[in-house]
Amino acid sequence: MSIDYNKLSLGIELGSTRIKAVLIDENHKVLVIGAHDWENRYENGYFTYHLDDVWSGIQDAVSKLMQQFKNKYDTQLCRIGSIGVSAMMHGYLAFDKDANQLAEFRTWRNTTTAQASEKLTKEFNFNIPHRWSIAHLYQSILEKQEHIKKIHNINTLSGYVHEKLTGERVLGIGDASGMFPIDSKINNYDKEMLKKFNDILSEENLPYKIEDILPKVLKAEDKAGVLTEQGAKLLDPTGTLQAGALMCPPEGDAGTGMVATNSVKVCTGNISAGTSIFAMIVLEKMLSKVYPEIDMVTTPTGNAVAMVHCNTCTSDLDAWVNLFYQVQTECGGTLTKAEVYDLFYEKVLKADEDCGGLISFNYYSGEPITKTDAGCPLLIRPATAKLNFENLARVQLYSTIATLKLGMDILLEKEKVNIKTLTAHGGLFKTRTASQPIMASALNVPIIVQETAGEGGAWGIAILAMYCKHRDANEKLEEYLDNKVFKNEKSYLENPHKECSLGFKKFIETYVDTIEIERRTAQILSEKY
């Protein structure tokens, strides 16, 4: 096989539980994959990752990818045409003028910024979610944290990694829209809100303006530097990988999810379901008012997007599957964990539509949509409930969708947002036989799952890098995706099922009625443990 290295594209995504590297060819087909598992830590009251773990994880994933390439093609992967970096959205990384980290990396999962979020939302008349970088910065200011006086720049994880690889402090507009509000008319930070925040900084006698510490905003078509010699060594300490690859603007997992599902056009939308779950709808017109449950972000090209984001999706479902796997292993069973997952989803389809009266909260952290400050997985069953394997499996799947449903109802019922279909991807849809019809029925929207649903954000950012380097003159991203990436893509459409919709409606009504039990339980246990 003759390999044109200039037409290879590498996508690296730092997700919540896995760092993944994907190499694609000029036809956007995956050639090889490398992955590294990791987990967040909980330290000093924050969910965080150490930056040393960022680089050891990236190097492990890239090393595995390069070894697979050598095994498959009997040659070294020494050059790559284009590279893109994606990571879990937003959060907070602060550095001084010498690039020293000033505070722990505060991830999207933290809900410690309620005071700042509320104040800024009121001041801006624009929803500022807990996880946004500006909320973390302002909360640090409100708490008079020592590091705020030394800040030279702040960034997201994708922007930080990109800067280390290229020397360029830039950020894709999608991820930037979770640092500070974006004005889609100018595809840059909102000028009026910058002014309002600078007034806050002035009152606090801080020695910088907000625009000076934020990364520069770029759109998907903008070139974002090249891989430097130092950057190449960070990816591959052996020195095999050469510098010079073009790099596209770094993006968050929300933006790469839109690309991976071909959902960047107006009136399209997608659902990403893994450790967290979120839906993104590209709007044809702005919402009529500010909703604290709805985030306003953008596509990688700058179009306005309404986003419903929930902190927890599959974590508790995974915990139950692991428990069943452990039980059957202790009993002498021989099923693999993957086979236990398949059995779990098989039982979901045989359960009562309303889960037999069972209610489950899957919260591993607080959920702003339901105004819960802390998380505590909780299974509730009335004495009259029908407890069996099938209903327990189904209620776990319902629980992954429940909080998303509450946010989506605002868009669908209050705002009458036009959504013809939603394209779903992520770990929840690797086995789509149960998750796809239940998602369609819960939201009352047809759900599409593509054959590439399991590829995820690393594939999406590899596509963005390929687009940045090889697009035709003036070719828009949506045209590139339609004509060159998804033209012959096979997909599966699932319409809502009436019986399931009614069963989920009964479940969600009781879910809402019992949220206060979850709030109180989480509060009590968070104070004890």
pTM of the model: 0.86
Domains of the chain: 315-451+497-528 (3.30.420.40)
Q: Is 344 in contact with 393 (CB distance < 8 Å)?
A: yes
Q: Is 188 in contact with 180 (CB distance < 8 Å)?
A: no
Give the H or E element holding residue 480. Answer: helix 477-480
Q: What is the pLDDT along the chain (529 residues), one digit of tens a residue?
A: 578 999 999 999 999 899 999 999 999 999 999 999 999 999 999 999 999 999 999 999 999 999 999 999 999 999 999 999 999 988 999 999 999 999 999 998 888 999 999 999 999 999 999 999 999 999 999 999 999 999 999 999 999 999 999 999 999 999 999 999 999 999 999 999 999 999 999 999 999 999 999 999 999 999 999 999 999 999 999 999 999 999 999 999 999 989 999 999 998 999 988 888 999 999 999 999 999 999 999 999 999 999 999 999 999 999 999 999 999 999 999 999 999 999 999 999 999 999 999 999 999 988 989 999 889 999 999 999 999 999 999 999 999 999 999 999 999 999 999 888 899 988 888 788 899 999 999 999 999 998 765 667 899 999 999 999 999 999 999 999 999 999 888 889 999 999 999 999 999 999 999 999 999 999 999 888 7
Q: Count the helix, strand and coil residues of the chain and give each as a percent rounded to the nearest 5.
A: 45, 20, 40
Report in angstroms the alpha-carbon separations of 441 from 402, 438, 446, 496.
Answer: 12, 5, 8, 4
Give the side-chain half-sphere CA count within 13 A for 421. 18
Burial class of residue 498, CB neighbours in 10 A (0-12, 13-18, 19+):
exposed
Q: 303: Cβ–Cβ under 8 A, 6 or more apart, which residues?
A: 184, 264, 266, 282, 283
Q: Which residues of 28-54 are buried (b: 16+ CB within 10 A; e: fewer)?
A: beebbbbbbebebeeeeebbbbebebb
Number of other CB atoms surrounding residue 333 within 10 Å: 14
Report in angstroms the alpha-carbon separations of 12 from 33, 87, 130, 481.
Answer: 10, 8, 26, 19
